[in-house]
Structure 1
């Protein structure tokens, strides 16, 4: 594509409501226009495999989803699911046979999504009808009557907390399985990774969970119904398909578009203002010389200021600062430039108190502590995604405007981003030259004003 007409990847908005197949289809249709605008080294597969360098690494992608688009749970679930498939495939054939693959028999009948989570109709006494082993096995089968019962019981007894707020999680309705014999219940309880599935439900599936996926009632019910029979990865296939399509065709193009910008919002606003000012000064110079008695060729002097203003303005509207780009630099995002921590006193009851100036020699420790907090979001069962109480946010709000504009800058390591930025800068220069020639020629063609 010609440099004059290169565009960043189009922004793909997210419609309200839960994840659904029709929205994912629209994402796929819109993302086809972005294929020529995103180089292969910045593909979704390379980023999630962490083969790209900052600012396009996996941690950068996670930061974008947490702090900018606010849907990091999709990537967190995706990373867990991909790892889960590999670990399940590594099991022995005998262990895999204990968890059959999801089939139509495990699907919820049309119009019966609510029935999938109704209370079990099997009598409690059914456990005594079949000899399934010793007392321990009977107790295990009883706990397996609903594969999720023991988890909810533990929520009540242990007062499980939300990692983001420290508040107790609200109670949610317990899903139950259809009727099963005691032998079938025992087999379900012994399925591989059953305990891990409980953790996934508590973190991603149940309402008000720390990383709740935006699922419809039917999709959630169908998943719970399938997981009541098996822990096979295929039970998650419909959900994983929606999550992957959203990440690949909506979140990823938006992330690349955002990453191309080398300045934060205050810096970009400042550069745009400077571009408008230089453009205005160039036009004013052309106008004043035209109204004077000076030779028309003196009007060319305004062309340089006009070109500089137009070039800066066009690049700035694509999020680029020309000064930073000269050395392929970028401004650190506020969560990257973190240097404060909460008070270390565990008995401190004031969440608003901070150590604004760390003690001598503690800078490395504090930076390492916050990096651990950021990187923990890559863990399948790490902290929640809310950041309203993170310390960098208070520091950013207290930072002066000039310091925000002229913040710390680092080198852009990823070559793919540098190439895209080079293309945008060359495009800005080319358009600025073209418009400047046309405008200057028009002013030169005008007769003298002769007013002074």
Structure 2
């Protein structure tokens, strides 16, 4: 079973392309081109996909390939924060009133009006507040999300290190001329201060790529309330980047079943097949044998062109035939899933309150550089479990095969049209 023969894998979205976007409307349900519904962003976040398209694979891609894991780390924290806030008793939730986003949008449309959040006075009904969160909450796109909630961080670590992050938050608020008061009676006030010092303030270890207006608007909201609705202006930017840049790039990268040396090897194998086919037909053209003998050169040419076209899209046909893929460099040195999980927790990629995540000092970096090219070509393989990914690879291989048949027929037909020689 394959997708449409006109299928095209997701186009690579660069930072420059993303920065020129005309809209930040992330609520649209339209998937980027080349991504099936089974591999949608919401399915990956909710844990409804199989390796190598899981949330852990997505995080590793952002960490090791895109070097931009902070967006997903913040997004997962906010997803977890919304759930925890909704689980609070009504008396605690009433202490942090939601931001009136409609009034705030009107203020933003008028540049002469100060951009300050308006806290609704009459909206004290907790059911109304909860409905507002749900109506603007992008985390409920998939029904399975609640059942497969992601533990983004150790809850006990949220309240450690009191003091330093509050000072950083005060300095941040002061830099945009906001009179900050520590609303200690509001739920999760100290946690919000830590988030500001890690993701929002200038020079933060995991600073989000926000405009000055978005950053100022968020800080003004957080100076008044810890309600999740305070994050809505920034959530649009973060979610758009994840859905329309990081996610398509991740799917495009995951389609490749081999590393770069293996892809070059596949290209060479394909070109060798074409050369062998031509080497078979050329002497037959020069000989006095019947033209029918020249067809024997079609098979290696057909195989060579199909192999090379598939490799051009990152697909090694040998690995594809077994539905295998190479282990990623950071996967090669993990003994088992439990060891890999503990290693990821230790390095901090799943800790929403850690420092800047880097991998330059990880042991696998030096070990992988020491591996020779031949060993990289024949690295350890593993079975691809995700059916939708295998279906994409089936489609790409079929496309390559059909194009190869057309090109081979044209090439062999041209050789057969040459009159036979008599030189031997």
Q: TM-score range by the shorter chain?
A: 0.7 to 0.9
Task: Determine whether 1:404 maps to 2:373.
Answer: no
Residues 446 and 364 (structure 1 numbering): CA distance in 2 closer, same or farther, change over 3 Å? closer
Task: Determine whether 1:370 maps to 2:323.
Answer: no
Task: Please give the per-residue CA displacement for 1:50-106, whole angstroms capped at 9, x wherever unaligned.
Answer: 111100000000011111112111111111111111111222232222112113469
Aligned to 1:441: 413
Q: Deviation at 1:205?
A: 0.9
Aligned to 2:276: 281
Question: Is the CA contact 1:31–1:249 (under 8 Å) kept in the aligned structure 2?
Answer: no
> RMSD in angstroms over aligned alpha carbons?
3.2
Q: Deviation at 1:220?
A: 1.2
Task: Determine whether 1:87 maps to 2:59.
Answer: no
Partner-residue secondary structure (3-state), 1:5: coil
Partner-residue secondary structure (3-state), 1:25: coil
- Out of 287, 295, 312, the residue aligned to residue 292 of structure 1 is 287
Partner-residue secondary structure (3-state), 2:369: helix
Partner-residue secondary structure (3-state), 2:382: strand
Question: Is the CA contact 2:58–2:250 (under 8 Å) kept in the aligned structure 1?
Answer: yes
Task: Please give the per-residue CA displacement for 1:131-155, whole angstroms capped at 9, x wherever unaligned.
Answer: xxxxxxxxxxxxxxxxxx9545767
Task: Determine whether 1:190 maps to 2:188.
Answer: no
Residues 26 and 224 (structure 1 numbering): CA distance in 2 closer, same or farther, change over 3 Å? closer
Question: Is the CA contact 1:50–1:57 (under 8 Å) kept in the aligned structure 2?
Answer: yes
Question: Is the CA contact 1:24–1:245 (under 8 Å) kept in the aligned structure 2?
Answer: no
Q: Deviation at 1:296?
A: 1.3
Which one has the largest radius of gyration? 1
Distance 1:402 1:179 in 2: 62
Aligned to 1:163: none
Partner-residue secondary structure (3-state), 1:330: strand
Task: Please give the per-residue CA displacement for 1:17-46, whole angstroms capped at 9, x wherever unaligned.
Answer: xx86x6263897x996844x3222211111
Aligned to 1:431: 403
Question: Is the CA contact 2:345–2:351 (under 8 Å) kept in the aligned structure 1?
Answer: no
- Out of 96, 101, 110, the residue aligned to residue 99 of structure 1 is 96
Task: Determine whether 1:49 maps to 2:49.
Answer: no
- Out of 206, 210, 223, the residue aligned to residue 205 of structure 2 is 210
Residues 279 and 383 (structure 1 numbering): CA distance in 2 closer, same or farther, change over 3 Å? farther
Question: Is the CA contact 1:282–1:304 (under 8 Å) kept in the aligned structure 2?
Answer: yes
Distance 2:230 2:340 in 1: 40
Partner-residue secondary structure (3-state), 1:189: coil
Task: Determine whether 1:313 maps to 2:303.
Answer: no
Question: Is the CA contact 2:166–2:193 (under 8 Å) kept in the aligned structure 1?
Answer: no
Distance 2:299 2:113 in 1: 71
- Out of 68, 71, 77, the residue aligned to residue 71 of structure 1 is 68
How many residues matched? 372
Distance 2:406 2:172 in 1: 67
Q: Deviation at 1:6?
A: 2.2
Residues 45 and 367 (structure 1 numbering): CA distance in 2 closer, same or farther, change over 3 Å? closer
Residues 78 and 174 (structure 1 numbering): CA distance in 2 closer, same or farther, change over 3 Å? closer
Task: Determine whether 1:271 maps to 2:266.
Answer: yes
Q: Deviation at 1:238?
A: 0.9
Partner-residue secondary structure (3-state), 1:435: helix
Residues 396 and 111 (structure 1 numbering): CA distance in 2 closer, same or farther, change over 3 Å? farther
Question: Is the CA contact 1:293–1:450 (under 8 Å) kept in the aligned structure 2?
Answer: yes
Distance 1:368 1:44 in 2: 22
Question: Is the CA contact 1:15–1:23 (under 8 Å) kept in the aligned structure 2?
Answer: no
Residues 284 and 15 (structure 1 numbering): CA distance in 2 closer, same or farther, change over 3 Å? same
Task: Please give the per-residue CA displacement for 1:182-213, whole angstroms capped at 9, x wherever unaligned.
Answer: xxx47x22111101101111211112222111
Which 10-residue stretch deviates more, 433-442 or 287-296? 287-296
TM-score, normalising length: structure 1:
0.74
Distance 2:25 2:361 in 1: 33
Please give the residue correspondences for 1:28-427 in structure 2 after superposition, counting only pairs within 5 Å. Answer: 34-35=32-33, 37-103=34-100, 104=103, 110=111, 150-151=163-164, 174-176=172-174, 178-179=178-179, 185=181, 188-338=183-333, 369-373=342-346, 376-382=348-354, 384-427=356-399
Question: Is the CA contact 2:166–2:194 (under 8 Å) kept in the aligned structure 1?
Answer: no
Q: Deviation at 1:329?
A: 0.3
Structure 2 gaps of 5+ residues are 117-161
Question: Is the CA contact 1:310–1:432 (under 8 Å) kept in the aligned structure 2?
Answer: yes
Structure 1 gaps of 5+ residues are 117-148, 156-170, 340-361
Question: Is the CA contact 2:173–2:223 (under 8 Å) kept in the aligned structure 1?
Answer: no
